[in-house]
Each structure stands twice: as structure tokens, then as C-alpha cells.
Structure 1
Amino acid sequence: MALAREVLARNDCPARSGSGSGSRFHKEYISELQRRQKWSKDGGHLKLGEMVLVKDERLPPNQWLLGRVTQLYPGSDGIARVADILTTSGTFRRAFNRLCPLPVEDQNCIPGGPAC
């Protein structure tokens, strides 16, 4: 906000020139100050056989289903957003936003080595 105030307070600001395009300048400039970060990077992809936690509103807050990805379903753009998850309770089909992939550590990795 301080940066926006500083720029708008300058005498050479187009908003103060009286040309009538000041309101447009304000809208375009201020909307560019805070960019959306949601889709700016790729979120990573699930792989077959990967272990995940399944979010489920029916379970208590500290209880999670543990499962393994058995099948991926790509959309029309070729990007998979839905997966079948095998758990002890059965197989569920869930969207990726309801899954939390677990970090996997390589068993052959030497702690502190270059590949870890």
C-alpha cells in the first residue's frame, strides 16, 4: 500500500494530469500491485502407487484416511485431476484438491549426500 500511495502522490502521475484517464489508470495500476499467486506455478502431479492422505469431512479433524493411488483420470486437456485411492475401507475416487501426497524418502540415500 505504501508503494501505491507513493506513486499516486507524485506530481507526474497520469491520474493528476486532468486528461480524464486517471480513473482508468488507478484501476489498471492498482490491480497490478497484488497479483494472484494461485496458478502461477505447477502444483506437481500424483503418480501411480504414491501414498496419500484423504481429506474427508465425515471424519474427526485429526483422523485421516491413508491410501495409495491406483488409477489416474486425465481431463480433456491431458492433466489428471482425479484419482482412485485404495484404502483399508475400500477404493475411493477423489479430486486432487482432496488429497495430500506424503513425502517419500529414498531408502538408498545417504544423509548429507549430494542426492538427498
Structure 2
Amino acid sequence: MGGVWERKVRSIKDAFKSLHHNQHLNDEELATFLTEAEMIVNSHPLTFVPLEDSTEEAITPHNFLLMSSSGANTASRIPISEEISLRVNWKLMLQLLNQFWKRWIQGYLPTIARRTKWFNDVRPLQVDDPVIIVDETVRNGWLRGRIVKVYTASDGQVRKVDVQTASGLYQRPAIKVALLDVLQSGKAVQR
């Protein structure tokens, strides 16, 4: 069981090490940065996504820590340094958090993407598959949805999909969606 949390700690360390070394953070700024990093890491699902009820959500660490799977935005709790203006401090924190997000995605995304396609035949994405839209630009805000239409190329491979989410319809390349493992009738199914 230690391997899971050790990988999470390593992903945070790797992303943190890759930030600019010339940034000197005081204690409050470092605490703010690590709190936001914690929010990002604790938003990933721990369980399969249930199919029985579309309103059910996968369990995340946020369920236990905040009683919410989404993780509330902690921007209002950021401590502010007295010596630096509010605007400069705010922009510094956003810049650092966005850098952390990009680095963490580079380490975490390969763990959820389907890499077996190079070695085994994989079932192509299909209509009604539950997916996450992978968007590196939106920090801590990946959208979940269901595929409503697939577009296949002349070679029969799915190249792009339409995904219906709670906030609308999105068209994305197939490589920019991650198929979710689902729980169907008490057993895990890779769709």
C-alpha cells in the first residue's frame, strides 16, 4: 500500500524541484504553495467511477478531508505578506501554482493515460464511455463527461470525440480524453 502514497509524494517533490530555484518564498508563501499543491493532488479519484447513478462521483481524498469531492477553491485563504503588495504576491502565487500544475500533470497524466495501445489491441473509445477531458491549461479543473459522438479516420481509429459535460459539449482529440475505469454491478470494468 505504501507504493501509492510514495508515488504521490514523489510527484509533488518532482514538480516542486522543477520550479525556478531563484524564487525565495517566505514561510507564509511556502505554506500557501504547498496547500494549493495539496488541493491539486487530493482531487484525483481513489476509486472507480460508479455507473449506476450519474450523480454519484468517484471517491477522492477531498471526500475525507473537506467532505466534498471537488475541493473548494482555497484562494480566499492565501496568507498575504506585509512587505509585498497584494497584487504582486497574488500573481507570484498564481505563477508558482500554474508551474506546479504543469509539472505535476507531466508526471501524473501518464499514469492515467492508456499506454497499452502500443503493445496490445485496445478497444476504441465509444459512445457513452465516461471520460475526463485532459486540459493542461486549467489548474485543478478537469471536466468529466460522456462521449456522445466519435469521429473515425480512414484507418478505423478514433481520432476525435464529442464529450457532453455538465457545462456543455466539447470536441477534443481522442488523445486528450482519458477513459475512466467504471464500477458496474459490483465489479471493475475497463471500458
- Matched residues in 2 for 1:44 and 1:96: separation? 13
TM-score by length of 1: 0.54
Deviation at 1:64, TM superposition (A): 1.1
Q: TM-score scaled to structure 2, two decimals?
A: 0.34
Listed as ranges, the gaps of 5+ residues in structure 2 are 1-115
| Paired residues for 1:1-116 under 5 Å | 39-60=118-139, 62-107=140-185, 109=186
Q: Distance in 2 between matches of 1:74 and 1:57?
A: 24
Structure with higher strand content: 1
Q: Which amino acid aligns with 2:123?
A: G
**Cα offsets for 1:41-68 (capped at 9, x unmatched):** 23431121111000112310x3210111
Distance change in 2, residues 1:46/1:88 (3 Å) = same
CA distance in 2, matches of 1:54, 1:85: 8
Q: CA RMSD in A?
A: 2.0
Once superposed, which parts of structure 1, at least 4 consecutive aligned residues long, lie more than 6 Å away?
A: none
Structure 1: runs of 5 or more not aligned: 1-36, 112-116
Q: Which residue of 2 aligns with 1:19?
A: none
How many equivalent residue pairs? Answer: 72
1:7 equivalent in structure 2: none
